Amino acid sequence: MHFSATRAPHNVDDMARRAKPGDGHPLKRYRWWQLFTRSLFHLRLDARAGATNVWSVDVRTAGDSNGEVWAKLYLDGRNHSRSKLPAAFTVPGGTIEVATSSYGIKRCHFVRDDGSSRMLAPDPASAEGRRARLDRNNPALSRAIGFISLMVLVIALVLGVPQLVEDITRIPPIADAVGTFVSPIRLPGWMNVTLIVSALVASTERALRLRYNWILDGGLFDGES
């Protein structure tokens, strides 16, 4: 069973125009305590005279002091530009597109001018980098974890949605308008809590691999369609 990693509902040109010039500050080293609050990705692109430039995307997923989440683009370790999310940065040969979900990064790809794309490489010290290392070192275990995450979300959807619909249709104005739906499934409270926690863990694990489906991974709550 396969679901698309992400969707691209936003206009890339509009996102690119939103990017602001950077101030040249240096890229800070990734620290272990930032595992669940920071995502860092890198892209090497050929430059003139056989040189190679390193473009880096730094996202503090917990937000800055004002609670706003920015994507910051660095060129060879110096801040080149920044943008609110979703973001698109114009670089030589294409565009770097960045988007987040409620659980982390759902897209950080270099889209070439010819339309082909590839994901940026996660920093080895980041949570995404550690997950990628597990995939390289133990692909069988990695696939098993990915399959379990997917199944947890499918089960949560099948068991949770009917109960949610029933709760919504019990709201008096809605009940008066459309009637009350009676869910064929009604789980005890502790089981619903377990289901919610398991779904949160599963979606977070998928976000570490930049796997995203708007139905399974909270797109309804992110306001996507």
| Owning domain of residue 109 | 12-122
Residues 143 and 117 placed together within one structural domain of the fold: no
Residues 178 and 98 placed together within one structural domain of the fold: no
Q: Answer whether residue 145 is part of any domain.
A: yes
Q: Answer whether residue 186 is part of any domain.
A: yes
Q: Which of 169, 163, 160, 157 is nearest to 183 (CA)?
A: 163
> Which residue among 66, 95, 122 closes a domain?
122
pLDDT by 10s per residue, the chain, length 225: 333 344 444 577 778 788 898 999 999 999 999 998 999 999 999 877 678 899 999 999 887 767 788 999 999 999 999 999 999 999 999 999 999 988 899 999 999 999 999 999 999 999 999 999 999 999 999 999 999 999 999 999 898 888 888 888 888 877 777 778 777 878 888 988 999 999 999 999 999 999 998 888 875 555 554
pTM over 0.75: yes
Q: How many domains does the chain have?
A: 2
113-116: Cβ within 8 A, 24+ apart: none
CB contact at 8 A, 54 and 42: yes
Residues 172 and 104 placed together within one structural domain of the fold: no
Residues 114 and 145 placed together within one structural domain of the fold: no
Q: Answer whether residue 212 is part of any domain.
A: yes
Query: What pLDDT does residue 219 have?
Result: 57
Separation CA 141–CA 145 (nearest Å): 6
Residues 101 and 18 placed together within one structural domain of the fold: yes
Q: Answer whether residue 189 is part of any domain.
A: yes
Residues 40 and 94 placed together within one structural domain of the fold: yes
Phi, psi of 176 (to 5 degrees): -65, -30
Residues 19 and 116 placed together within one structural domain of the fold: yes
Within 10 A of 25 (CB to CB), how many other CB atoms are there?
A: 11
Q: Answer whether residue 1 is part of any domain.
A: no
Q: Answer whether residue 214 is part of any domain.
A: yes
Query: What pLDDT does residue 3 have?
Result: 38
Query: What pLDDT does residue 224 have?
Result: 52
